Amino acid sequence: MIALSLNGVNKYFGKTQVLKDIDISIEDGEFVVFVGPSGCGKSTLLRIIAGLEDASSGSVSIAGQDVTYEAPSKRGIAMVFQSYALYPHLNVKGNMSLALKQEKQSKDVIEQRIAKAAQMLNLESYLNRFPSELSGGQRQRVAIGRAIVREPTLFLFDEPLSNLDAALRMNTRLEIANLHKQLATTMVYVTHDQTEAMTLADKIVVLRDGVVEQTGTPMELYNDPRNQFVAGFLGAPSMNFLPASVFNATDDRTLGVRPEDLFIDEAGPISAQVNHVEQLGGDTNLIVRMDERQLTLRLFGQHHIAEDSRIRLNFANEKAYYFDANGNRA
């Protein structure tokens, strides 16, 4: 069953077109991540799905129903925002129950749903606390719980981890992944963080300048990027790009090699100077300079290589990517 379908969606702000002929189909139960740089249109697209923005043209269908002109409350969605948007005068239980009270749900239904959501999110001991008494991670869990109790057809997440520190982002990311497994409900998640996209998604939609560049599973996009933008956007550290002419090629193609696919080789074709060494414990990143170009080399384990030393690098040709002058896979 198709949980969400976007057909020919365009959006203009004045004369500026921010979304261009968006066609996306999402299966029931899928976790889909919209990812791309700031200004690519991903949050605007999510707001159109939610009914918080109107599409200039095109249609939005949720669970087989055309909701293009329906109010947000009629779409069967629940949204979790970047800001927690909790009511400071209500405790955790009050924040989670408010929408259900507005829907005139019975007291028993409200109690059952809050108890279930609180157990999923480890909020049982916090129900009587107010937002000011909670950490950032706890507040975000309350915001997620407020969405869960509504039992929506579709969950929408708009950069929910942006306000959390690194450790909390990782923990909350894991909680959201586990939540998806438990609920088996369709989720659409917006982020600019490619690590979140790679670790959470069943399917990733990569956007740039209002256009869908590529759609696929995380590993499909990582291993088989359609163009240089997708190749460079997914992966941390990002892919290295070099003119193929460096290797005496006569065309104007660009060569792409991922940091983990470069290796030190005394007979290698790339001569480089070590600029900086990042010791990460389990991995070592070498940032090196080849002429005026900076490359990143990712080595497994701990390596002690002197800065400013010169090394030679190589790569397996089957691990290389080639892009034409327009940035498309050659």
pLDDT per residue over 41-64, tens digit each?
999 999 999 999 999 999 999 999
Residues facing 299 on adjacent strands: 284
Token pair listed for 214: 């590529």
Query: Is the same domain home to 307 and 255?
Result: yes
- Distance CA(165)–CA(86), nearest Å, equals 19
Of the candidates 208, 232, 256, which is a domain's last residue?
Answer: 232
31: Cα within 13 Å, side-chain hemisphere = 20
Share of the chain above pLDDT 70, in %: 99
Question: Do 51 and 137 have their domain in common?
Answer: yes
pLDDT at 250: 61
- Residue 49 domain-assigned? yes
pLDDT value of position 309? 95
156 and 84 co-located in one domain:
yes
Backbone angles phi, psi at 313, to 5 degrees: -120, 155
- CATH code for the domain in which residue 140 is found: 3.40.50.300
Residue 328 counted as domain residue: no
The angle formed by the CA atoms of residues 140, 82 and 228, to the nearest 5 degrees, is 125
Same domain, 184 and 103: yes
In this structure, the answer to whether residues 213 and 314 fall within a common structural domain is no
Tokens representing 309 are 């030393």
Q: What is the mean pLDDT of residues 262-291?
A: 94
What's the average model confidence in pLDDT over 6-31? 97
Helices and strands (DSSP H and E) totals, the chain: 8, 18
Supply the range of the domain harboring residue 52.
2-232
Residue 264 has pLDDT above 70, yes or no: yes
Residues 255 and 151 in one domain: no
Binned at pLDDT 50, 70 and 90, residue 168 comes out as confident
276 and 200, same domain (yes or no):
no
Two tokens, residue 60: 């939005």
Mean confidence (pLDDT) of the chain? 93
> 176-196, pLDDT tens digit by residue?
999 999 999 999 999 999 999
> 280 and 204: one domain?
no
What's the confidence (pLDDT) of residue 72?
94
- Give the C-alpha separation, 200 to 125, whole Å: 28
pLDDT digits (tens, 9 = 90+) for 316-329: 889 999 999 999 99
Residue that terminates a domain, selected from 184, 204, 232: 232
Question: Does 152 share its domain with 256?
Answer: no
Residue 329 lies in a domain: no
Q: Which of 174, 208, 232 is the endpoint of a domain? A: 232
| pLDDT at position 249 | 61
Q: How many domains does the chain have?
A: 2
At 76-105, the pLDDT tens digits run 999 998 888 899 999 999 999 998 998 899
What mean pLDDT comes out for the span 203-214?
98
- In this predicted structure, the answer to whether residue 246 has a pLDDT above a threshold of 80 is no
Q: How many CA within 13 A on the CB side of residue 158?
A: 20
Q: What percent of the chain has pLDDT over 90?
A: 82
Comparing 213 with 243, the larger pLDDT belongs to: 213
Mean pLDDT, residues 33-45: 96
Question: What angle is formed at CA 140 by the lines to CA 182 and CA 216, rounded to 5 degrees?
Answer: 55
Based on the domain organization, do 253 and 281 belong to the same domain? yes
Q: What is the pLDDT of residue 311?
A: 96
- Mapped onto helix, strand or coil, the DSSP state of residue 73 is helix
Q: Using pLDDT thresholds of 50, 70 and 90, give the confidence band for residue 169.
A: confident
Residue with tokens 């955790």, as numbered in its chain: 92
Residue whose entry in the numeric block shows the structure tokens 């070590």? 274
Do residues 170 and 294 both lie within one domain? no
Same domain for 93 and 221?
A: yes
Q: For position 310, what pLDDT does the model report?
A: 96
